[in-house]
Structure 1
Amino acid sequence: MSMIPPSASTLRGAVDLSGLVQRAAQPAASAAPATGAANGAQQASGPIPVPSLVVDSDDAAFTGLLELSNTVPIIVEFHAGQAWAGIAAAVRSYGGRLLLASVDATRSPQLQQAFSVAAVPTVAAVIGGRPLALFEGEIADDQLRQMLDQVLTLAAQNGVTGTVTVDGEEGEPAEPVEEPLPPHHQEAYDAIDRGDYPAAIAAYQTAIAQDPRDQLAVAGLAQVSLLNRLSGKTAAEIRTAAGDAPGDIEAQLAVADLDVSGGHLEDAFGRLLDLFPSLDAEAKNGVRTRLLEYFEIAGVEDPRVVAARRRLTTLLF
């Protein structure tokens, strides 16, 4: 990713996050981008109170921020457990004209996919419900402020000129209020936190055995299985192995895992589906199983999943 160009004046053509909204807990309609008239009416009522100018977010909680982005630009920082303090301080300095969402990419696969996050830290913005890639890595303070100024300019050109205000004295960010997870889901999350992917796999498998209709456990199992397969490997060695052995199904499955982990679904699907007709029955079954896992990770309504599923069905029958 690179910085947004200074001449950017419209979000037309930006990637739509509607698929992510539809998978979130709140109704999709609540996160639809506001029109200019509606946006103006919303902002006319004054600043919107928020608990903090820097909030933690994840796949489930992001819908509310999409709605808020119709009033104020949302800066989104993806990290792997350690947030960048510099960007939080910079966002706070704008006095409510920006809000920062801090996202642990390892715990938010839908957001990682929606924003095509290939490395951390990655910084993006959401303006009027639409995402905008900004940059990867950390940058100098003066460059960061220049980038944030550009975001505000682009937001103004798209009618997003509101502000938020901290409801009460802002201190440490409040702990998010969430519904407690089912026991085996919590066990899986705890195992992921400590990097014990086999234990997380076992916890999700137990949840599925108790309730085969537990789709969250099915999706969670697919996600943590992907993390487990990639654990201890580097992108360079995976891609080198796949390039050296184009007919090695395990090497091709590994590089497809890598593509999915970075949000490059079409590359992963295309690689495996192109290879599929040349495989024997056992290898075909392995590829089919892996593709079904990817479909769970991405979500069945994702258009890339719909297209890949259609092609897989054609190849099978």
Structure 2
Amino acid sequence: MASMGLNLEEQKAVDRFRNDVVEPSMSKLVILDFWAEWCGPCKALTPVLEKVAAEYADKGVVLAKINVDEDQFIAAQFQVRSIPTVYAMFQGQPVADLTPARTETQLRQFIDQLLAKFPVQAGEPVQDIAPLLAMAEDVLGEGDGERAASIFAQIIEIAPDSAAAHAGLVRALILAGRKDEAQGILDALDPAIAADPAIAQARSALALAEDAPEETELAALRAAAAERPADMEAQLAFANALYASGERDDAAAKLLDMVATDRAWNDGAARARLLQIFEATGLEDPWVSATRRKLSTVLFG
């Protein structure tokens, strides 16, 4: 997939696609599912895809999913006009349209034909860590850093090469206030894992959390922001302290207020800080999606 002339968001989408789809497809058969939250047929098809992909995992079949709302650029490259749309990918290229296969039997027939046709490398049976990652992310989203860190650590024992699990562990440790341990995890990563975009997000999250204030300092910043509502420097310092202290929602609300008050202040510093938080959290995160919609409303009404 070409990457010349792309904007930042499009380049990130391409990088994710290369990491999640193209690279695995160099030796595996990747079932690529284009879907969306609002798509009823997608929800009916997902269990079928997941079950069959798990059955064929030891034969070199993996499942990758593209949310067409979040990755519109990738969906456009494949000219997806309706969903669900399902392709089989091998060595970076679509080799079959699996969209007509809506039952387990039909999907197995397609896959058997493709495995007989292409030199797909069989894999060892592995435990599907996707549900565990989803569970850990849910716990992290609830604000329980210690429990989330424990779950991510267990996932790493199962899948030591999972960049998502390592990144999640770093973010959980940050939330739990164990920043030195988070830094230690990052420092000890294998270079192949360290190059993953998920790890870059974790590094950004740690950088944002480095200046977490003491409780008394946070109280002073809170008071200064309340006493001087027109002082944008005071508002930004308070917002930064809120985020570094783990109060993500309040930090975002303060930055949104700043954008609404004066979006051009300090070359758009409040908006830039929000975007940095989005990147550190992960652009696919539901909280980021919801907060980006709030930002769009402030900017464009």
TM-score range, shorter chain: 0.3 to 0.5
- Which has the larger helix fraction? 2
**TM-score scaled by length of structure 1:** 0.39
- Using structure 2 for the length normalisation, give the TM-score: 0.41
Of structures 1 and 2, the one scoring higher in RCO (CA 8 A, sep 6+) is 1
